[in-house]
Structure 1
Amino acid sequence: MSNTYECSLKNQHNYNKRSLKHGESYEPKHKKFKQNHFDSGYKSVVDVVTIFKLELQRILNNNNNKLSNTIIEDIQPYGSRISGIYTDDSDVDIHITYTSNLSFKKVIKLFADSIRKSNVFNQVVPIIHAKIPIIKCSFHKKTGIDCDISFNNISAVHNSYLLNYIISMDHRIKPVLTKFKSWAKNTGLICTNGFSSYSFYWIGLFCMQVKRILPPIYELQKNIPERIVGHWNCAFSKEQEFKKDNQKHLSESDILTMIYAYYSSFDFKTYVISPYVGCPLLKKDFENVDQLQPELWKYKQFHKENFEQTNLLFLRTSQFSMYTQDPFQHNLNITARVTPKVFEKFINACTELKDK
């Protein structure tokens, strides 16, 4: 009996140490085999943006009956994977342009239901009441990557391509912005009540515009046809000549230090950050728009047409003191959500790094 028992233990021991099959990993804590959810080599071989776009097209086309009152006009990627500032596990952002006689809430729920039933993602959640409503799709089963889907917000697509072009203008810009964002996240500046990644990129780029490393956005719009989205021109040219001081002697580290020093002493109470013009603007001039630079003629026009709708005007878009114009949509303050607590943390952190 003893031999039988020993043999049984030996067989059990051999069973527990069997060779792992492809796609499995051993998890000692639970003493069992765990199937990996995706092939880690998949992401490096294929273009995940194309995969997501094609899958969404297939899913939504296969649900035409449910979406019979809705016409999908376009599906386009945007965000970090288009701007070029991303990591292997960054989300994929997809924008859908549609028209429908159904309510926005109804359409988003129908889209979410269709995607959920496709079983392509582990979880699909419509976030309807956010400032920019999205469908959040978590863990794509083939790649392990998340996806955020937004709607009828085409300016975000143009902004992504603008960032992509700006980054291509100087080899130092992408690593500088990557390090700048990483520092911001580690410092707790990029959060729900603070900066977005997008706004923080433009904070960094604006300083480089002031130092003439980069051009103001209006210079990229000279002598080319407009591309109007809403009231705003989202066109830009890659052919414009820009007389710049590259300051080639500056390293990436030097540029970062320059950014920290610049904002440690920036007078946010008096000035507005304007990537479009590429220099600080007096905040008081937004009360008397005739005093604004001629390059901002579209905002002057918008202000006069919407004077009574104060919630649409630039200085009415934030209850806090930090004002940063969107490079295209000049009535939009992209740092509107930055609370005094996060703002103070930003200034203190910049001051600390400047003095090192």
Structure 2
Amino acid sequence: MGHGNVWEKFLLDVKEADRLKSLSNERVINDLKEGLSVKNIDSTIYEFGSRIVGVANSNSDLDLYVDIANINFISILQPETVRSNHNKIFSAIKWNYSKWAIVDNLSSVSCPIIIAKHKSTGLMCDISSSSPMAVYQNFLVIYLFEIQPIARYMVIYVRAWLKKHGLDGFRSHIIILMVIFFLQIRGKLPAIKKLQDGLSPNLYPFTMHFVNYDLAHFNMSEIPINKKECSDVLFDFFKYYSTFNFSQVAVCCYIGMEKTFKERRFCLPDRFQDTLSHEAADVMIYDFINVAENIAASINGLQLNDLQTKMAQQLQSTFF
């Protein structure tokens, strides 16, 4: 395939992600609500995940968050409540078997998930109710993609590249954090803490809301989206992470600067100090909001070496 065709293929991937983002999931949500209502479960349902932020492909699941009694956006649930709510939702979906086929019930994990297929649309859905964190994360990601659109293009490219090279373990949220951190380092996106200056935690200790400043507020500008700019920024991204010291330097979008594992502690709000881990890992990539959580802790040194080796190899070729 010629390089021109690679660019055209990539634009088709972006177009497909746009299409999936624009699709209405009203039928899916209504059918979930139907079962919940019959079981007398008062709830609000939120969509989130790769389809909603605009980086999905046709194989991507639809993520749904069920806020039972509309209280979970203002309080952290106790484990017994999490289990109870999960069981209620499972019972409602199982009851509505004409609309849903349950594929798996991951009830024993810390954030339980029901994997179910919506029969009329064929959509695979991951349904959860334990924490609104991912929904708030999506609000933030969508905002960052809107003010610096090339970030979304980069995530789409890197997701496909990882799949092509069989690099498992680097899920979408990790890729998004890596892309946004890189753009922060290059002065193209602000640190998350700058978007939350003066805001109080709304789900203690977490501050989940933010101020929607435009790039001009930070004396930053939008990167044009064209073949050359995308190729150049991806080359820089791959070069940056191919030699990045993941075991010493934390990828932390909240700070938006390179800090060692130890230095990072002193850049975070006091309210997180008691929850921070004192142990480093092979890869340290921290969440936007739950800044104490290393979401890449399960990635080992062999996986990291494979990633960085293949990134270095990619630099020997053109991207488009």
TM-score, scaled relative to structure 1: 0.73
1:95 aligns with 2:69: no
- Return the alpha-carbon distance in structure 2 between the equivalents of residues 72 and 336 of structure 1: 36
Q: What does residue 230 of structure 1 align with?
A: 204
Q: Deviations over 1:247-266 (max 9, x none)?
A: 54961121111111001121
User: Alpha-carbon deviation of 1:80?
Assistant: 1.6
Q: Sequence identity of aligned pairs in percent?
A: 22
How far 1:185 sits from its partner (Å)?
Answer: 2.0
C-alpha deviation, 1:106, in angstroms: 4.6
Secondary structure of the structure 2 residue equivalent to 1:126: strand
For the residues of structure 2 that align with 1:180 and 1:203, how far apart are their CA atoms?
A: 10
Amino acid paired to 1:219 = K
**Match runs of 1:24-103 below 5 Å:** 47-64=23-40, 72-98=42-68
Higher-Rg structure is: 1
Pairwise CA distance, 1:276: 1.1
* Cα 1:329–1:136 shift into 2, 3 Å: same
1:1-356 paired onto structure 2 within 5 Å: 47-64=23-40, 72-98=42-68, 104-119=82-97, 120-138=99-117, 140-190=118-168, 194-223=169-198, 225-226=199-200, 228-240=202-214, 241-246=217-222, 248=224, 251-286=229-264, 289=265, 292-293=266-267, 296=268, 298=269, 300-303=270-273, 306=274, 312-316=275-279, 320-356=281-317
Q: Measure, in 2, the Cα distance between the counterparts of 1:352 and 1:117.
A: 52
Q: Would the aligned equivalents of 1:212 and 1:245 in 2 still touch at CA under 8 Å?
A: no
Q: Aligned equivalents of 2:299 and 2:203: distance in 1?
A: 26
- Are the aligned partners of 1:96 and 1:149 in contact in 2 as well (CA < 8 Å)? yes
Q: CA RMSD in A?
A: 2.6
Q: Is the 8 A contact 2:114 2:126 kept in 1?
A: yes
In 1: Cα distance, 2:119 partner to 2:60 partner: 15
- TM-score, normalized by length of structure 2? 0.80
SS of 1:314's equivalent in the other structure is: coil
Q: Counterpart of 1:53 in structure 2: which amino acid?
A: I
Which structure is higher in RCO with an 8 Å CA cutoff and minimum separation 6? 2
User: Which string of whole-angstrom CA distances, capped at 9 and with x for unpartnered residues, describes residues 186-220 of structure 1?
Assistant: 22323xxx222111111122111111122211222
Residue 172 (structure 1) shift:
2.1
In structure 1, what is the Cα distance between the partners aligned to 2:103 and 2:91? 8
